[in-house]
Structure 1
Amino acid sequence: MKHLRSTLTLAVVAALAAAFGAQAQGSRPNTASTASRGITDIMRAPQRFGAVPPAPRAPAAPTTQRAAEYIVALVNSEPITNSDVQQRVARIIEQNPAEAGKIPRPELNSMVLERLIGERAQLQVAKEQNIKVDDVAVDQAEQTVARQNQLTVEELRKRVAAEGLTQVEFRRDLRNQLLLTRLREREVEPRVKISDLEVEQFLRDQRTSPNAALAPDINIAQIMVAVPEGASDAQVATLQQKAQGIAQRARSGEDFAKLATELSDSPDKANGGALGLRNAERYPPLFVEATASTPVNGVAGPVRSGAGFHVLKVLAKVQAGASDATVTQTQVRHILLRTDARLSNEQAVAKLAEFKRRIQGGTADFAGLARDNSQDASAKDGGELGWSRSGQFVPEFEDAMNRLAPGQISDPVVSRFGVHLIQVEGRRESKLTPAEQREAARNALREKRLDEAFDTWSQEVRARAFVEFREPPQS
Structure 2
Amino acid sequence: MLNKTIIRKAVLASGLMISSLGFSGLIQAEEQPLDSVAAIVNTGVVLESEVQGLVNQVKQQAASEGQSLPSDNALRTQAMEKLITDSLMMQLGERMGVQISDAQLDETIKNIARENGFNNIVDFRMQIINSGMQWDSYREDVRKQLVTGEVRRASVRRRVSITPQEIDNLVKMMQEQTNADVEYNLGHILISFPDEPTQEDLVAAKERADKVVELLNNGSDFKKIAIASSSAPTALEGGDLGWRSINEMPTLFAELVNNKNKDEVFGPVRTGLGFNIIKILDIRGKQKVEIEEVKSRHILIKPSIILSEEKAEKMLLDMLAQIEAGEAEFDALAREHSEGPTSTRGGDLGWADPSSYDPAFKEALATLEVDEYHQPFRSSFGWHLVQLTGKRTQDATDTNQSNRAYQLIYNRKFGTESVRWMKEIRDEAYIEIMDQGSSNE
TM-score (norm 2): 0.55
> Among residues 402, 412, 428, which one is paired with 1:464 in the alignment?
428
C-alpha distance in structure 2 between counterparts of 1:157 and 1:348, whole Å: 34
> Among residues 330, 340, 348, which one is paired with 1:366 in the alignment?
330
Kept after mapping to 2: 8 A contact 1:336/1:374: yes
Matching of residue 96 in structure 1 with residue 38 in structure 2: no
1:329-344 pair list within 5 angstroms: 330-341=294-305, 343-344=307-308
Matching of residue 205 in structure 1 with residue 205 in structure 2: no
Amino acid at match of 2:174: Q
* Corresponding position of 1:423: 387
Kept after mapping to 1: 8 A contact 2:98/2:380: no
C-alpha distance in structure 1 between counterparts of 2:403 and 2:177, whole Å: 20
Helix, strand or coil at the partner of 1:421: strand
Larger radius of gyration: 2
**Deviations, residues 215-242 of structure 1 (Å, cap 9, x unaligned):** 69xxxxxxxxxxxxxxxxxxxxxxxxxx
1:259-408 pair list within 5 angstroms: 315=290, 330-341=294-305, 343-349=307-313, 351-353=315-317, 355-389=319-353, 393-401=357-365, 404-408=368-372
* Corresponding position of 1:83: 49
Helix, strand or coil at the partner of 1:336: strand
C-alpha distance in structure 2 between counterparts of 1:348 and 1:154, whole Å: 35
* Corresponding position of 1:195: 163
Helix, strand or coil at the partner of 2:373: coil
Helix, strand or coil at the partner of 1:72: strand
Q: Displacement of 1:458 after TM fit?
A: 1.9
Q: Displacement of 1:413 after TM fit?
A: 3.6
* Corresponding position of 1:69: 35
Task: Compute the RMSD of aligned alpha carbons.
Answer: 4.3
Q: Displacement of 1:112 after TM fit?
A: 0.8
Structure 2 vs 1, CA of residues 421 and 315 (structure 1 numbering), >3 Å: closer, same or farther? same
Q: Displacement of 1:103 after TM fit?
A: 2.0
Kept after mapping to 2: 8 A contact 1:133/1:179: yes
Structure 2 vs 1, CA of residues 360 and 152 (structure 1 numbering), >3 Å: closer, same or farther? farther
Q: Displacement of 1:456 after TM fit?
A: 2.0
Stretches of structure 1 that go unaligned for 5 or more consecutive residues are 1-63, 217-278, 282-291, 297-313, 317-327
C-alpha distance in structure 2 between counterparts of 1:431 and 1:146, whole Å: 25
Q: Displacement of 1:88 after TM fit?
A: 0.8
* Corresponding position of 1:237: none
**Deviations, residues 183-228 of structure 1 (Å, cap 9, x unaligned):** 3234322222233333233223322225358969xxxxxxxxxxxx
Structure 2 vs 1, CA of residues 446 and 369 (structure 1 numbering), >3 Å: closer, same or farther? same
Amino acid at match of 2:71: P
Helix, strand or coil at the partner of 2:174: helix
Kept after mapping to 1: 8 A contact 2:98/2:379: no
Structure 2 vs 1, CA of residues 333 and 149 (structure 1 numbering), >3 Å: closer, same or farther? same
* Corresponding position of 2:23: none
Matching of residue 148 in structure 1 with residue 112 in structure 2: yes
Amino acid at match of 2:75: L
Amino acid at match of 2:153: E
Helix, strand or coil at the partner of 2:101: helix
Structure 2 vs 1, CA of residues 431 and 141 (structure 1 numbering), >3 Å: closer, same or farther? closer
> Among residues 96, 114, 120, which one is paired with 1:131 in the alignment?
96
Aligned identity (percent) is: 24
C-alpha distance in structure 1 between counterparts of 2:297 and 2:50, whole Å: 45
C-alpha distance in structure 2 between counterparts of 1:449 and 1:334, whole Å: 29
Structure 2 vs 1, CA of residues 396 and 105 (structure 1 numbering), >3 Å: closer, same or farther? same
Amino acid at match of 2:73: P
Helix, strand or coil at the partner of 1:201: helix
Kept after mapping to 1: 8 A contact 2:301/2:339: yes
Matching of residue 451 in structure 1 with residue 415 in structure 2: yes
Kept after mapping to 1: 8 A contact 2:182/2:285: no
**Deviations, residues 301-332 of structure 1 (Å, cap 9, x unaligned):** xxxxxxxxxxxxx646xxxxxxxxxxx76443
Amino acid at match of 1:93: K
C-alpha distance in structure 1 between counterparts of 2:353 and 2:402, whole Å: 14
Kept after mapping to 2: 8 A contact 1:140/1:414: no
* Corresponding position of 1:185: 153
Kept after mapping to 2: 8 A contact 1:409/1:423: yes
C-alpha distance in structure 2 between counterparts of 1:179 and 1:295, whole Å: 31
C-alpha distance in structure 1 between counterparts of 2:56 and 2:314, whole Å: 40
Amino acid at match of 1:81: L
Kept after mapping to 2: 8 A contact 1:413/1:421: yes
